[in-house]
Structure 1
């Protein structure tokens, strides 16, 4: 059986010719494998990362397989760089069919970025800002997919903690940011629906993927242990994780699904904290405030019809 993610996601027959896909964090791990797959399916792929040499290598690889791709660099700890990335996409393309918010990290040490805890900034505020900047560039049937994690289970939304690194816990900050990802994706779906826009938004858990390079952020011996787990039954491969992403991004089965959380290529109920609509709305407004920007899709109100994330 092929280990290519498009085969694992049973989307090998999907023709993405004429579609444009932006895959953030696609110079390594799940993002890179998904970018290659989208290129093979016919999409024009915008590869994103911080390392230009790594990005150009991915672009070259996609082209060698017959696909089309271009690289755009952006550091997700800088709002200006994120806005420049969005401007480049708007300028260089006619529209965006797939926005895959894949980039993220888990950091050993606490640090503030523009006055905000780095994990929350990179994992949540960066994709929030990028998505907001590209809303008017999304094609009518576009899909926005946000990489979350089952690590969100057990976390509670606390928007005061993001201004400090006192008592910082790498895993705690990561879990909090992943909860924000699920809430963001469902609130985006709700607001797109309220605005009468047919684009869809979902989030997903990619599985426990040692090969995704997630483990490089873990302290000391845990990093090596995480990589060793790649040979243990029950863990997922990078291709498995990319297949989860592709299923939500291009499968016909998910074309009209919005506001859901996926795991195992199926809609799954996230934690109760991730289904709190009031919390999702608070996060939406607070994120705009933290970034010093207007609230995206502000005409969508809490009482409007929406897709439930449960």
Structure 2
């Protein structure tokens, strides 16, 4: 076990399940004090307990990232608990697949509130502190369908396409002051959230060279790489973790 993140704190949104949970565990294994943010206290406490049982440090922060106030409040509570936030992982998101003509304004606003507005104002709140220290890391979680069109994914894909552009813009804005901003772009991943897709997940994954869905742990490893100094010369990058789907 290595401890590349000892003495550093990491805020992981959507950290109670799926990719977020795996990321919280991975960063804790590297020595970080992990702040697990999510809506479900039961699942949050389970993640914290799993980390502490292995000798790691973690705390749960209950949040419902619906607007600017919620994002700024979460950032403030994270700073109060850990002293500062060194690593921000913008993972929380929703991914409804629906036809454009079946999408309501409520659906639209909910997706953009969590997938775009929440990370935007978390960065607005936390990146200036990182820049003032001359050190910090932001990792955004996007999706392969932000890179190409797919039927039924206009709403979800477009929200994550916004995050791809924000990643590059934030790298330009904060990179010169020591803050590295990058993103990972997962393909089909087996999680509790995608279980409802059933065989459709395998069909989607079959189009990629890997020919299978990925695991949350595989995506978490990519996030951990971007969170550590192993990626010290990487700024504004989009790292596909999609089994090669973007290549074909």
Q: TM-score, normalised by structure 2?
A: 0.84
Root mean square deviation, CA, Å: 2.7
> Does residue 228 of structure 2 align to residue 240 of structure 1?
no
User: Deviations for 1:186-211, whole angstroms, at most 9, x for unmatched residues?
Assistant: 00011114xx4111101111232122
**How far apart are the structure 1 equivalents of 2:85 and 2:57?**
15
2:199 corresponding residue in structure 1: 225
2:233 corresponding residue in structure 1: 256
> Does residue 124 of structure 2 align to residue 135 of structure 1?
no
> How many residues are paired up?
233
1:125 to 117, 121, 132: 117
> Does residue 189 of structure 2 align to residue 209 of structure 1?
yes
**How far apart are the structure 2 equivalents of 1:201 and 1:236?**
24
Q: Alpha-carbon deviation of 1:108?
A: 5.0
Q: TM-score, normalised by structure 1?
A: 0.68
**How far apart are the structure 2 equivalents of 1:178 and 1:231?**
19
Q: Given that residues 206 and 240 in structure 1 are in contact (C-alpha distance below 8 angstroms), is that contact kept between their aligned partners in structure 2? A: no
**How far apart are the structure 2 equivalents of 1:89 and 1:170?**
36
**Where in structure 2 are the equivalents of 1:12-91 lying within 5 Å?**
12-91=1-80
User: Deviations for 1:53-89, whole angstroms, at most 9, x for unmatched residues?
Assistant: 1111111111001100011111122332222111111
Q: Given that residues 19 and 97 in structure 1 are in contact (C-alpha distance below 8 angstroms), is that contact kept between their aligned partners in structure 2? A: yes
**How far apart are the structure 1 equivalents of 2:56 and 2:220?**
17
State the SS of the aligned residue for 1:96: coil
Moved more, 115-124 or 228-237: 228-237
Please say which structure displays the higher CA radius of gyration. 1
State the SS of the aligned residue for 2:198: helix
> Does residue 119 of structure 2 align to residue 145 of structure 1?
no
